[in-house]
A and B are shown apart, each in its own frame.
Chain A
C-alpha cells in the first residue's frame, strides 16, 4: 500500500539555525497538507496545497516559515531561523481531493 514519506524522522537543531523537512505524497494525490502538532494537542494546519498552488497558508508564520511544492508532487517546509517554540511534530498528509487523508510518520523537531 502506498504511503506518504517524510524525512528526516528526527531533527535536533540549535536556535537561529535553518531547518528543512521533505514530504513525498502518495502518487496522484493533488492535495498536500503540512501540519504542526505540539505534544498533547491536535494538529494545526500550516499550509495546504492543491497541486502546486497554495490554497491556505493563513496560519503559517511567514516571517520564518516557507513552503513550496514546485512541480505539484513533493514538498519542502523550511524554518529560518528556528526558535525554541518551534519544537513540535511536523506532519505531512495527502489526499486525492477532499477525500480520505493519509498522513506520513512525521518529523520530530527539537530546537535547543
Chain B
C-alpha cells in the first residue's frame, strides 16, 4: 500500500530565506508526482507536476525534484515571501491503481 509522508509538518522562516520541503513515498511504482498549495479554507492549487521519467520541474521561484528509486521528492522555494505562507501537499499517482494519494502536508509560515 502506497504511503506518502511529508516532513516537517510545520515550518516558520523569516522572509527572504530559501527553504526545502520534503516528501517521501513507499512504493516507487508511480506515474507522476504533484505538489499542491492550499490556503486556509480553500481548495488545492497545482504548483508542479513531475512525470516519473523526469528528475525536476521549475516554475518561477519553485523547483521540485524527484528521485523515484529512493522514493523522495523535494520542493525548493527560493527567496521566500509572506505570500508563500500556506500548506504545501505532495501527492503521487500510483502506476498500479491510478489512485492519487496525498501526504499530510507541510504548513509554512513566512514572517515579514
Chains A and B come from one and the same complex:
yes
Q: Is the CB of B102 within 8 A of A98?
A: no
Given A102-B46, A103-B45, CB of A45 within 8 Å of CB of B103: no
- Shortest Cβ gap from A40 to chain B (Å): 8
Q: Is A33 an interface residue, CB under 8 A from the partner?
A: yes
State in angstroms the CA–CA spacing of A102 and B43 once bound together: 10
Taking the nearest CB of chain B, how far is it from the CB of A63, in angstroms? 22
Measured between beta carbons, the chain A residues less than 8 angstroms from B89 are 42-43
Closest to B102 in A: A42
Q: Which residue of A lies closest to B40 (CB)?
A: A39
In the complex, the chain A residue whose C-beta lies closest to that of B42 is A105
Q: Which residues on A sit within 8 Å (CB–CB) of B91?
A: 101
> Which bucket holds chain A's interface residue count?
20 to 34
Contact between chains at A33 and B42 (CB < 8 Å) = no
Q: Report, as a range, how many residues of chain B touch the other chain.
A: 20 to 34
- A43 and B98 form a contact (CB under 8 A): no
B59 at the interface (CB under 8 A from A): no
**Per-residue CB proximity of A58-70 to B under 8 Å, as 1/0?**
0000000000000
Q: Chain B, 35-51, contact with A by CB distance < 8 Å: what is the 0/1 string?
A: 01000011111100100
Instruction: State how many angstroms separate the Cβ of B77 from the closest Cβ of chain A.
Output: 19
Among B1-60, those with CB < 8 Å from A are 4, 6, 31-32, 34, 36, 41-46, 49
Please tell me if A106 contacts chain B, counting CB pairs below 8 Å.
Answer: yes
Chain A residues with a Cβ under 8 A of chain B: 31, 33, 35, 41-45, 48, 50, 55-56, 89, 91, 93, 95, 98-106, 108
Q: A42-B103, A43-B44, A100-B34 are in contact. List 14 more A-B contacts (CB 8 A).
A: A41-B105, A43-B102, A45-B99, A50-B98, A56-B97, A56-B99, A95-B100, A98-B32, A99-B49, A101-B46, A101-B91, A101-B100, A102-B46, A105-B42
Could you name 25 residue pairs across A and B whose Cβ atoms are closer than 8 Å? Answer: A31-B98, A33-B100, A41-B104, A41-B105, A42-B103, A42-B105, A43-B89, A45-B100, A55-B98, A56-B97, A56-B98, A89-B41, A91-B44, A98-B98, A100-B34, A100-B49, A101-B91, A101-B100, A102-B46, A103-B36, A103-B43, A103-B45, A103-B46, A105-B42, A105-B43
